Structure 1
Amino acid sequence: EFNYAIVDEVDSILIDEARTPLIISGPTQESTQLYYKVDRFTRRLQKEKHFTLDEKTKTVALNENGVAEAEKYFSVPNLYDLNYMDLVHAINQSLKAHFLFNRDVDYMVKDGQVIIVDEFTGRLMPGRRYSDGLHQALEAKEGVKVEEEYQTLASITFQNYFRMYKKLAGMTGTAATEAAEFMHIYKLDVVEIPTNKPLRRIEHPDVIYRTAREKWNAVSEEIIELNKIGRPVLVGTISIEKSEKLSAMLRKKGIKHVVLNAKYHELEAQIIAQAGRIGAVTIATNMAGRGVDILLGGNPEFLAKEALKKAGLDPGQATPEQFQKAYEEALKITQEEHEKVVALGGLQIVGTERHESRRIDNQLRGRAGRQGDPGSSRFYLSLEDDLMRIFGSDRLSGLMARIGMSEGVPIQHPMVTRAIERAQKQVEAQNFSIRKHLLEYDDVMNKQRETIYRQRREILEGKDLRDYFFNLFDSLIEWYLDQYANKDKHPDDWDREALQQALFAQFSIDLSQLNLKWDEITYEELYSALSNHIREIYSQKEKLLAPERMREFERLILLQVIDARWKDHLLEMDYLKEGIGLRGYGQRDPLIEYKKESYEMFQQMLDRIEEDAVRYLFLIQPVVETEMPKRKEQPIYYQKPQETAAAAGGAYLKQARPLIPGKKKKH
């Protein structure tokens, strides 16, 4: 039961992760060789000549020249022919992998595997894979083994998952900027709680340079100056690549420092715990959600453990007396250092780039000046930063030109800071729009998901399906008779051969065994004869199996059919969602079209579930074996449908749309 949830770092889960669906997937039988071949093709392409790239909307697509190049390379007459949809899909994913995803920024390669890096926390996410063939495209790009592709078996967005709870609440230090989204999507109010102690952190205005090179030089000089007086520095970067670049610069200058990014995640707690000591320089990638207090002067507990290790003792094996003695010595050192660090102004935060979200910047700033301690923060930016380059206004560039910035000379101006915040708000608004749009589409799937899972739950809880199947028998008989022996037609005009094939494919019955007098029979008599005959076959199976075992098989069959059909439906819905945007060119609302077509597809899936369940039920061949030693139960064998049976009625089953019990079809 989803009664209530209290979510820690609620903005990270409900906002940042909102675009990430929770997926249960299983392997497919698709070959991975296509990804290698497509990757070789993608490496030949040139920007503008063969494809267009829009970094603002994060889209990349082949242009006319690119399409012609692909048709020539893969020897296909028309790339967008339905027969080559898999190839088009693989090309699109390869383009994304090469031109929208960057190594050591969006992912890293470790032990021959492509591992996703969380863009908001900088942590590695082992076990997670990009869906829809994108991860395979990245593996081909990096020259590692391309793992088999996975197909979605079940999917739900974070938004709809958490909206299932009757009561929802959460905590975070950075929710105020997203108050509107929390209310719009989750109907949650944001309440600000005052700080425990007065805030003493000084937030200096941003410093902006013309080029990234000038900015990095200024950052390293700032670190060197602060390091000379012993003031601890925490430097925030937005990617592994940037953190390692700065680390190399500091090594050349002889500045001792530690790096905290996805590559050194195991040492995270230890690195953060000592980031407040005198002379400490810590470079961290995306501090979001680290959740460890940086204590000015250092953490005595970690220091005590280090002292025990140096003395040759395992901290986990040390006696309470040994640990207490080491802790008291460490506490004395950290208290002395604490006073010195406070006198120097506390921890200095140096931001090297503004994140797309203001919340991530605020989380970095919030590492300094905690619990009444002093501290300060300053961001160093350049016009070449991604945020400024993609979303910065021409007005800002014009301002820089008028001021006449010279090499290495920064600008500090409230107008610049406001322009940067406007750019961030623009990105946040765009991302909110994407999340809202995603939710509108997932809400359509959510209603279908609830229907299917409610059916599954009823089956799993032991619902008696005997009457359900009897209703299905009658609905299917009525459907087939309407198709091939319509009551409004004379019996001479009935298509007996087609009816025979359809009933054999559906129920495995032979009409000739019924000894029907076709010259005299009426629609009602035919319906009654078929219904009684099918019930008789069912009763014979039930008698052989025993009623309780028959109920078990009915549940098993229906569950398997629902799961198989739902899996296929999810794939078809993905294809529908991919192409539905094109309806906008025909002056149609894509969302309304998606709702309409997805409803029709869902109804067809329900029809198929009912058809399949009945067909498999009649294909069960109970086999009663003689008792074997040490065996209490008689084994029952489930015979899978034969190809010949399926082929026999295939043409007629395509037309079949059996009734949902309780609903009548219009004729």
Structure 2
Amino acid sequence: MLGIGTLAKKVFGTPNDRKIKATRPLVEKINALEEEFLALTDDGLKQKTEELRKRAIDGESLDDLLPEAFANCREGARRTLGLRAFDTQLMSAIFLHQGNISEQKTGEGKTLTATLAAYLNALTGKGVHVVTVNEYLVKRDADWMGKVFASLGLTTGAAVSGMTEEDKRAAYDCDVTYATNNELGFDYLRDNMKSELSQIFQKQHNFAIVDEVDSILIDEARTPLIISGPSQDRSEMYKIVDDVIPLLQESHYELDEKTRNVTFTDEGNEFLEQELHSRGLLEEGLTMYDPESTTIVHHVNQGLRAHKLFQRDKDYIVRDGEVMLIDEFTGRMMSGRRLSDGLHQAIEAKEGCQIQPENVTLASVTFQNYFRLYDKLAGMTGTAETEAEEFAEIYGLGVVVVPTNVPVARVDEDDQVYRSALEKYQAMIEKVKEANAIGQPVLVGTTSIEKSEMLSQMLTEAGIKHNVLNARQHEQEAQIVADAGKFGAVTIATNMAGRGTDIQLGGNVELKVIEALDADPDADPVAIREKIEAEHADEKKKVLDAGGLYVLASERHESRRIDNQLRGRSGRQGDPGRSSFYLSLEDDLMRIFGSERLEKVLTTLGLKEGEAIVHPWVNKSLERAQAKVEGRNFDIRKQLLKFDDVMNDQRKVIFGQRRDIMEAADLQEITADMREQVIDDLIDQFMPPKTYADQWDTQGFQAAVADQLNLDVPVAAWCEEEGVDDEVIRERLVEASENMMAQKAEQFGPESMRNIEKQVLLQAIDGKWRDHLLTLEHLRSVVGFRGYAQRDPLNEYKNESFQLFESMLDSLRTEVTQKLGQIRPMTEEEQQQILSQMQERQAAAQVNAAQAAEDNSEAPASTAAAASGSTAVAGFDENDPSTWGTPARNDECPCGSGKKFKHCHGKLA
């Protein structure tokens, strides 16, 4: 008997089937236009773009323009790249345009698919961002697909790290911009540290297409992007703590591998106290539980995590004396990424590397909150269906599985479970030998560098020639993957197999052509391509006859998606292939998530050494375990997001205020409101409501007015006048402060005064926001303990962070009012002093330049600044804008750097 659900699916189809079916009329419409667009000249394609763009700007919906736009883009790709989009690619692009995640199998042409949706959405003139996982793909795709966009009259940019500000701004101003998720996030944070609208990169967040969307929006979403600056150096503390941790015994700590958590036991705390007392880190009379011990306890906890949770060659590698993190999902090195909160420093101490100073957060954002800024978001991947719930709940994205252009011919075999890891590896080596004997290419998937190198050693001992691809061979990735489909090839790879470069049976033609031309630049490219394609056809036939690519995985990952990605390397575009997973009860997933029942089954069956259990039930059991882990990881990410959402609301307010300040022509009204609020606060503080005049603190009031408003007025005398109330005092203070600011505006000139107000406001906001972020980090690290008192940590965090935000805004008003009250123009004497210093420097510079010419050598770098006659203004304090004088935007900066003010202290660092 069929279940009701199964019966309904047979009659009505699944929801996914219905979505696919709904696109078919649109695809037929696009195909019907093919002859019309084939007849257009190259200029005709560009003219069509202009026509479509005008219709979009005039208000015609993109849905109405879709058939013509897709037909035009498909024709452009056919002419420039020789690639004609399949119907399945058109379907996938329709789903992208609708703001969905399109799941396409490996080798189905996601890169080309993205151009169709990007082209249609770029017609509005608001820009489209195509997001990829690394900079190699950014450059490759922007160059490759840029030819298509150029043929259609659109511009393409690539935003990568290390570009000049002008180049990056130009990249973002293009119709379509390719960039990594990291670069987009960091540029967004940098934009919100700028002081002028003209310096901003990302003008708006219109539409983003995220490639490898599961990797970016799920795997990497656990780690926030942080722009930080150095803080104090505590390297000695890390070294001393690192000497203590190896002395711990197993009874001193509890390790939970499921939650990746490690904590000290009471016995461990007592042992630590003794050790820390003896080494002088803990003062006599203090315990680990005293408030004064917070910092040392933090360091000890991070040291314990570094030693017990982080493994070399799995979580990180040491290269050139530097600890480089490894992405657990792709196996790639994460250059420039560091663990926060002192954990990276603890690992550096453990490995004997130079300990870099800790950082303070200047700005931060999570990928979840960054990508939710876009008006429309879409994504592509080969594996998203297993995470459909998370995509829907966090990002509001639907997942649609698009059928393959040619049916998949790969055979996915049942998992083979062995009792021990050694039996499993020996069985795998035998399997590789069998495949290698008939020339079938083999891709062996592993979960860590350590295991990939151990398997490599076993293959070497077995006399099998092979390549190894892990974070150590990061630079040769494209070449190793391109060779992985050759006849007789054996490749061992961590979870990065095939990213960005297809494993094509018989080898990758494009790479071979490039290599041949590099070796002989004078050769005829057409002749070389024909020769290589002929050789490739023979090679591909041999591989097809041998059974296609064989994917042999040594372990199941915590996430089913990573397993599916590895499997998907085989069987692209209807090629034959097969995949097997070889497991053991000693694997991390099996060991941590309950292999006891399975071990009983194996014992009952009386398995001999070297034998394996193979059954579909085992596959189902493992998938359930993986689904549980995925669910737990989803809950962790959801909880992190809830906390970040609290900060995100505040971030939006601050960043919104910064944007308003930059856009405002005149800030007088804002600063006047701030002054009045400060006056109200002072009156509330020193003349509390419902109190008598003899209860007022008139002397304190007088001092506070002088300090915060820079006003020399007889407040104490006013308060003693007969019949004076708080409203009268308020009016007098407001009038006095307005008169003072009007005088300053007259002295400086209206334009200079506007610039001063803008800079003071922006710098005050940024300073306060930095301090607020640090306070929130500390609050976040301790608020979890409130759970022991039966109070919800999230609600506690919301309430306290809101109070902290309010007090930050109060102190912001005070600081801005105080600084604007203190600024003054330079006296003639100060100006004369600066002038004479400049002349002295200029004379010295000329002497240096003449001496350099005599020596027939270039002037030293410092001479350049000297030649400009740059010197710091007398009394210049970079933390106090009131000492900077009144430089115009294009004047030399008063700090003496020789740069224009707008490029130095006139902008935010």
Q: Secondary structure at the match of 1:318?
A: coil
* Residues 423 and 610 in structure 2, CA contact (< 8 A), matched pair in contact too: yes
1:259 is aligned to 468
How far apart are residue 180 of structure 1 and its match?
1.3
User: 1:200-252, CA deviations, whole angstroms, 9 ceiling, x for partnerless residues?
Assistant: 00000011111111111111121122112211100011111111111111111
Cα distance in 2 for partners of 1:30, 1:371 equals 55
Equivalent residue runs for 1:383-402 within 5 Å:
383-402=585-604
Cα distance in 2 for partners of 1:302, 1:371 equals 19
2:360 is aligned to 151
Aligned amino acid, residue 248 of structure 1 = Q
1:318 is aligned to 521
2:759 is aligned to 556
User: 1:43-87, CA deviations, whole angstroms, 9 ceiling, x for partnerless residues?
Assistant: 21122x111110000111111122112222222322132222221
User: 1:383-440, CA deviations, whole angstroms, 9 ceiling, x for partnerless residues?
Assistant: 1111111113532232222223322111112221111111101110001111111111
* Residues 331 and 470 in structure 2, CA contact (< 8 A), matched pair in contact too: yes
2:444 is aligned to 235
1:141 is aligned to 350
2:729 is aligned to 526
Q: Does 1:497 align with 2:699?
A: yes
Of 108-117 and 577-586, deviating more is 577-586
* Residues 121 and 289 in structure 1, CA contact (< 8 A), matched pair in contact too: no
Aligned amino acid, residue 458 of structure 2 = M
How far apart are residue 478 of structure 1 and its match?
2.1
* Residues 491 and 519 in structure 1, CA contact (< 8 A), matched pair in contact too: no
Equivalent residue runs for 1:181-220 within 5 Å:
181-220=390-429
Q: Does 1:64 align with 2:266?
A: yes
- Distance change in 2, residues 1:606/1:288 (3 Å): farther
2:547 is aligned to 345
1:650 is aligned to none
Equivalent residue runs for 1:46-65 within 5 Å:
46-47=249-250, 49-65=251-267
* Residues 621 and 639 in structure 1, CA contact (< 8 A), matched pair in contact too: no
Q: Secondary structure at the match of 1:74?
A: helix
Cα distance in 1 for partners of 2:821, 2:876 equals 11
User: 1:2-37, CA deviations, whole angstroms, 9 ceiling, x for partnerless residues?
Assistant: 111111111111111111212111111243221111
Q: Secondary structure at the match of 1:340?
A: helix
Q: Does 1:602 align with 2:811?
A: no
Unaligned runs of 5+ in 1: 643-667
Cα distance in 2 for partners of 1:302, 1:482 equals 75
Q: Does 1:567 align with 2:776?
A: no
Equivalent residue runs for 1:266-345 within 5 Å:
266-287=475-496, 290-306=499-515, 308=516, 314-315=518-519, 318-321=521-524, 323-345=525-547
Question: Which of 150, 174, 185 lines up with 2:383 in the alignment?
Answer: 174
Cα distance in 2 for partners of 1:336, 1:20 equals 47
Cα distance in 2 for partners of 1:640, 1:26 equals 17
How far apart are residue 289 of structure 1 and its match?
6.4
Q: Secondary structure at the match of 2:772?
A: helix
1:370 is aligned to 572
User: 1:346-379, CA deviations, whole angstroms, 9 ceiling, x for partnerless residues?
Assistant: 1100000101110110010001111111000000
Q: Does 1:22 align with 2:231?
A: no
Cα distance in 1 for partners of 2:399, 2:719 equals 76
Q: Does 1:87 align with 2:282?
A: no
Cα distance in 2 for partners of 1:302, 1:479 equals 70
* Residues 369 and 376 in structure 1, CA contact (< 8 A), matched pair in contact too: yes
Aligned amino acid, residue 197 of structure 1 = V
Aligned amino acid, residue 576 of structure 1 = L
Of 238-247 and 279-288, deviating more is 279-288
- Distance change in 2, residues 1:480/1:285 (3 Å): same
Q: Does 1:591 align with 2:591?
A: no
Cα distance in 1 for partners of 2:413, 2:789 equals 52
Question: Which of 296, 308, 323 lines up with 1:99 in the alignment?
Answer: 308
Cα distance in 1 for partners of 2:815, 2:271 equals 45
How far apart are residue 138 of structure 1 and its match?
1.0
Cα distance in 2 for partners of 1:641, 1:229 equals 73
Q: Secondary structure at the match of 1:52?
A: strand
Question: Which of 211, 223, 239 lines up with 2:432 in the alignment?
Answer: 223
* Residues 622 and 636 in structure 1, CA contact (< 8 A), matched pair in contact too: no
2:743 is aligned to 540
Cα distance in 2 for partners of 1:635, 1:467 equals 30
- Distance change in 2, residues 1:63/1:621 (3 Å): farther
How far apart are residue 492 of structure 1 and its match?
2.5
Aligned amino acid, residue 792 of structure 2 = D
Of 475-484 and 449-458, deviating more is 475-484
How far apart are residue 530 of structure 1 and its match?
2.4
Question: Which of 795, 800, 820 lines up with 1:617 in the alignment?
Answer: 820
Aligned amino acid, residue 223 of structure 1 = V
Of 67-76 and 6-15, deviating more is 67-76
- Distance change in 2, residues 1:181/1:288 (3 Å): farther
2:234 is aligned to 31
2:53 is aligned to none
How far apart are residue 583 of structure 1 and its match?
1.9
1:654 is aligned to none
- Distance change in 2, residues 1:620/1:83 (3 Å): farther
Cα distance in 1 for partners of 2:630, 2:374 equals 26
How far apart are residue 513 of structure 1 and its match?
8.5
* Residues 698 and 715 in structure 2, CA contact (< 8 A), matched pair in contact too: no
* Residues 624 and 635 in structure 1, CA contact (< 8 A), matched pair in contact too: no
Q: Secondary structure at the match of 1:101?
A: coil
TM-score, normalised to structure 1, is: 0.90
Aligned amino acid, residue 400 of structure 2 = V
Cα distance in 2 for partners of 1:233, 1:126 equals 30
* Residues 623 and 636 in structure 1, CA contact (< 8 A), matched pair in contact too: no
Aligned amino acid, residue 239 of structure 2 = Y
Q: Secondary structure at the match of 1:153?
A: strand
Q: Does 1:443 align with 2:652?
A: no
CA RMSD of aligned residues (A): 2.3
2:782 is aligned to 579
* Residues 764 and 815 in structure 2, CA contact (< 8 A), matched pair in contact too: yes
* Residues 481 and 498 in structure 2, CA contact (< 8 A), matched pair in contact too: no
Cα distance in 2 for partners of 1:305, 1:170 equals 31
How far apart are residue 624 of structure 1 and its match?
4.4
* Residues 234 and 281 in structure 1, CA contact (< 8 A), matched pair in contact too: yes
Question: Which of 323, 339, 352 lines up with 1:114 in the alignment?
Answer: 323
1:129 is aligned to 338
Q: Secondary structure at the match of 1:122?
A: coil
User: 1:110-158, CA deviations, whole angstroms, 9 ceiling, x for partnerless residues?
Assistant: 0111111111111111111111111111111110000011111111111
How far apart are residue 294 of structure 1 and its match?
1.2
Cα distance in 1 for partners of 2:388, 2:684 equals 57
Aligned amino acid, residue 532 of structure 1 = E
* Residues 487 and 539 in structure 2, CA contact (< 8 A), matched pair in contact too: yes
* Residues 257 and 282 in structure 1, CA contact (< 8 A), matched pair in contact too: yes
2:243 is aligned to 40
Cα distance in 1 for partners of 2:486, 2:440 equals 8
Cα distance in 2 for partners of 1:123, 1:396 equals 33
* Residues 698 and 716 in structure 2, CA contact (< 8 A), matched pair in contact too: no
Cα distance in 1 for partners of 2:361, 2:338 equals 12
Cα distance in 2 for partners of 1:502, 1:72 equals 50
2:631 is aligned to 429
